[in-house]
Chain A
Amino acid sequence: MTNRPILEIENLSIGFRAYGQYRRVLRDVSITVGEGERVSLIGQSGSGKTVTMRTIIGTLPMPPGVVETGSIRYDGRSLLELSKIERNKLKGTGISIVLQDPMLSFNPVLTIGRQMDDIVRYADSRLGQNRSAAQRRDHIVQTLAKVQLSEGARILDSYPIMLSGGMRQRVLIGMALLNRPRLLIADEPGTALDVTTQDEILALLNTLVAEEGLSLLLITHNLGVVREMADRVYVMDKGRIVEEGTRDAIFTAPQNAYTKRLMAAVPPLYGPDVVTIENHHTDPNPAISIDSVSKDFVGRSGLFHQHRTLHRAVDKVSIDVMPGDIFGLAGESGSGKTTLAKMTLGLIDPTEGTIRVEGQDISQIAGTADFRKMIQIVYQNPGSSLNPRRTITDQIAVPLKFTGHETSRIKTRVGELLEMVDLPADMANMYPHELSGGQKQRVAIARALSVNPRILVLDEPTSALDVLVQSTVIDLLHRLREEFDLTYLFISHDLSLMRNFCNRVGVMLRGQIVEEGPVAEVFGKPSHAYTRALLSAIPVTTDEADAMKPIVTKEERAAVLNPSTAIGG
């Protein structure tokens, strides 16, 4: 590193004192960010990266937080020794942040304009400046233009819920830049958004760093994002920095065992490590047959709800899922994939068309115990799909009870199921909060399998999990499919994962399947512009894979993607 450092963290150790117990969360952490440099801090949830961020920006509550040793210097000044007033002067003006979730980072009850004006106004008063309301407004509109939002005036009068996800993320970056900070800390920017939008946001951040002379500290768990966004990388595990180096060094020759495991766990989109799953079943009768199915949702407005607006969520979709398939349903938010899955489970009725599961029309059999034994679901977030007040046994027993199992059988069956998903038997009497995220998802899988279904609908089953945990859950799902002859309908927006997990995929756009086929074909020779746009937007971890991404022209992108700078959506 040749630049003058703007942020130097040296030997920082931090602990928490809570309920009489002391726990150290950061051990001897040293991080340096040079002026104009882009540095990434990688780590899984619980590794201490958020605590590091909060300590730098000064929002870590102390107590219970305690700084044991170490120092943080910003531009040569020791942050932890500054007076409160001096420190506050740096907030937003020296160091600023962009938090992960663009919805939760706004105050929902104030207009964007009000929130941005407050930030400018209080910074002015801290720094002893005095600008009129009109001057501040001009400044805000100019800042919005920097994040490529041209309709500044309209945005300022909007409330956060009136903006699309991509727009909110842009406004959020604009907010962080309002007082011209020199160091920007971004916590998982764009990961809550669709991959094509995330791509735009990352490009925007890169532009801003170059044009505004910002230094960037990026906190993330997504290695693909790191490769596109970092000059240097720090890897954090259990509160320690386990490896640091330039981006190329880390990606081509990781030294630390943990870094290597992390790299290996990322499902590759292209390249020699890609796994192609095949289906050896020869049964000609489809497990799920979706025949020109549509679903309309009715919105009502007006004084007496008299104006009806129809929104077609699923539009004449036909798919056959064969026994033994892992059929991936890919698409961004709002594409209709979840609606299609819900109809397949018989939870909502299609407006048109028929869905057959194992040859039977589900409009006839939905709601019966027999149907529940055919098809089950694993939800996205095991943290909310499990009831926090019931033991693991109770959770797994729910489907058993409703399909007429005897109480005496249930206990032995729960034991079998826990063994099936590689969980120790003594977890049966624990509560969900005592389990890790991966273990909870295993419980959810065990619950879905309890009635011996032949088909599982998997709704983003690993998107709430860290990548290391994800790979173990994926392995488990592959194993279970072999052992119990299962068919999966897998819904996800993570195409890298889909490439390695499924044997067939269908890509959904605005309610329609635009492309469908075996994974190797769809990923190797994508024919629809949308598929190509999706694939090219995915951050990958090797240059090799980057070079293999399909090419999509600007015109094609514009034709298939909703612009993230538009109001609404």
Chain B
Amino acid sequence: MLLYLIRRGASLFIVLFGLAILIFVIARIVPGDPARIALGPLATAEQVTDLRAEMGLDEPFFIQLGTYLSGLAQGDLGKSLLTSRPVMDDILGALPATFELVVFTLVIQIVISIPLGILAAVYRNTWVDNVIRVVSLVGIVTPGFVLAILLQLSAAMYFGFFPITGRIDPSIMFDADITGLLLVDGLIKGRPDVVGDALRHLFLPAIALAAGGIGQVVRITRSAMIEVASRDFIEASRAYGIPERVVRFRYMLRVAAVAPLTILGLEFASLIGNAFIVEFVFSWPGIASYGVRTILQKDLNAVIGVVLVSGVFFVVANLTIDIILGLLDPRHRLREGKSK
């Protein structure tokens, strides 16, 4: 198991290193002079040259790459042209909001989709199954931003159950200075009003973000459960008198969980990408909103930073899933050890 963890962990750094180089190269190949773009069409040639020197753009390419990578190793992503602040600070400032949203979305996905998938499998080919399948299909085909706007119009504006935009009510005075996560800091500081209000704000964007993944995971869970149900060991367990509830939830689910978990891992990583639009619609002060603004401004350092952060999410999410699968299914880690 330890060997498995070390090997997975090592692959994480290799992937991230490669990703950093790739993005940097792409950013330099894209046409347009970053200094000219930053200064605007009215700046003089002299001003542009000065800025180029300041940004290190006049150096040879490999020197630039080396400078960038050594900065990266020390946690320095360069300066944002948009905010004139270090990109790392900007990202760290915006990350907790996104992290909170994405993790909350994942929780919603797991809590809703796995039970629904099990339900659909247990009541296969009945009306229960049919309703669940239709609803999940609707979830898959509806784009996140459409759902976001519909939710804003209905639940927020028409019924007024939920706030329309933002992360927390501006009238609440609260400084999330421990982890940056409102829910966590609210709990630590004993502020139920903060936690409650943050949850209300989280709910709609999280639902809009979760819908597509829920549909996928419901379907995968359902078919995996049905497949496992027909295996010999399930019949054997029943014949040996293991109670039905144990057979279903312990024996079947544990074997069947591999497929939905793999999908959830990929889904979690792509949530960051999907969050771009949903965060924009709900004016969520997260990294996606920051990313959209920097992309529109061709703020290269910031864009590279944002992409790197999504990359980290992707790799870490997959690593987490691999570890969970290894814990859940001995064949994963044993096969890895043997590598036959």
Query: A residues within 8 Å of B by Cβ?
Result: 54, 57-59, 88-89, 91-93, 95-97, 99-101, 104-111, 118-119, 122-123, 126, 159, 161-162, 175-176, 178-179, 299-301, 303, 305
Contacts and interface: CB of A to CB of B under 8 A. Distances in A.
Contacts of B331: 108-109, 159, 161
A99 B236 contact: yes
Residue of B7, B240, B334 with most chain A CB atoms under a 10 A cut-off: B240
Contacts of A97: 236, 239-240
B18 interface: no
Interface stretch (B130-138, B241-249, B272-280, B310-318): B241-249
17 contacts: A58-B238, A59-B239, A89-B241, A96-B240, A104-B231, A104-B233, A105-B233, A107-B255, A110-B251, A123-B241, A159-B330, A162-B334, A179-B241, A299-B339, A299-B340, A301-B338, A305-B339
A305 B339 CA distance: 8
Contacts of B33: none
B29 interface: no
A311 B284 CA distance: 59
Given A91-B238, A301-B338, A118 B232 contact: no
B235 interface: yes
Given A162-B334, A303-B3, A99 B235 contact: yes
Interface of B: 3, 6-7, 231-233, 235-243, 246, 251, 254-255, 328-331, 334, 337-340
A175 B243 CA distance: 16
B334 A159 contact: yes
Contacts of B243: 88, 122
B233 A122 contact: no
B126 to A, nearest CB: 12
Contacts of A89: 241
Contact of B235 (A59, A95, A106, A305): A59
Given A59-B238, A303-B7, A104 B254 contact: no
Nearest to A161: B331
B246 A122 contact: yes
Contacts of A100: 232
B240 A92 contact: yes
B143 to A, nearest CB: 32
A301 B334 contact: no
Given A105-B232, A107-B255, A301-B338, A92 B330 contact: no
Contacts of A122: 241-243, 246
A299 B338 contact: yes
A300 B242 CA distance: 40
Contacts of B240: 91-92, 96-97, 119, 123, 175-176, 178-179
A7 B337 CA distance: 48
Contacts of B3: 303
A333 to B, nearest CB: 15
B14 to A, nearest CB: 12
Nearest to B330: A159
A300 B330 contact: no
A104 B236 CA distance: 10
A57 B338 CA distance: 39
A218 to B, nearest CB: 16
Contacts of A118: 237, 242, 246
Contacts of A123: 240-241
A131 to B, nearest CB: 16
A101 B232 contact: yes
Contacts of B330: 108-109, 111, 159, 161
A199 to B, nearest CB: 23
B27 to A, nearest CB: 33
Nearest to B255: A109
Closest CB pairs A-B (n = 3): A91-B241, A92-B240, A104-B232
B339 A301 contact: yes
B254 A109 contact: yes
A91 B232 contact: no
Nearest to B242: A122
A109 to B, nearest CB: 5
Contacts of B233: 104-108
Given A59-B235, A104-B233, A108-B329, A161 B339 contact: no
Contacts of B7: 303
Given A54-B235, A91-B240, A111-B330, 11 more contacts: A89-B241, A91-B241, A107-B237, A108-B233, A119-B242, A175-B240, A179-B240, A299-B338, A299-B339, A300-B339, A301-B338
Contacts of B255: 107-109
B13 to A, nearest CB: 14
B121 to A, nearest CB: 14
Nearest to B240: A92
Contacts of A101: 232
B244 to A, nearest CB: 9
Contacts of B237: 107, 118
Contacts of B231: 104
A178 B240 CA distance: 9
Nearest to A104: B232
Contacts of A176: 240
A501 to B, nearest CB: 31
Contacts of B6: 303
Residue of A107, A110, A299 with most chain B CB atoms under a 10 A cut-off: A107
Residue of A54, A104, A123, A179 with most chain B CB atoms under a 10 A cut-off: A104
B254 A110 contact: yes
A179 B240 CA distance: 9
A99 B239 CA distance: 10
Nearest to B337: A301
Contacts of A58: 238-239
Contacts of A54: 235
Contacts of A106: 233
A300 B328 CA distance: 24
B122 to A, nearest CB: 12
A301 B232 CA distance: 32
Given A107-B255, A161-B334, A88 B236 contact: no
Nearest to A159: B330
A109 B328 contact: yes
A123 B242 CA distance: 8
A241 to B, nearest CB: 23
Nearest to B336: A301
B239 A57 contact: yes
Nearest to B327: A109
Residue of B6, B238, B241 with most chain A CB atoms under a 10 A cut-off: B241
Given A106-B233, A161-B330, A126 B338 contact: no
B169 to A, nearest CB: 46
A44 B318 CA distance: 47
Contacts of A305: 339
Contacts of A59: 235, 238-239
B239 to A, nearest CB: 5
A85 B328 CA distance: 32
A119 B232 contact: no
B90 to A, nearest CB: 38
A299 B337 CA distance: 11
A89 B243 CA distance: 11
A122 B239 CA distance: 12
A26 B239 CA distance: 21
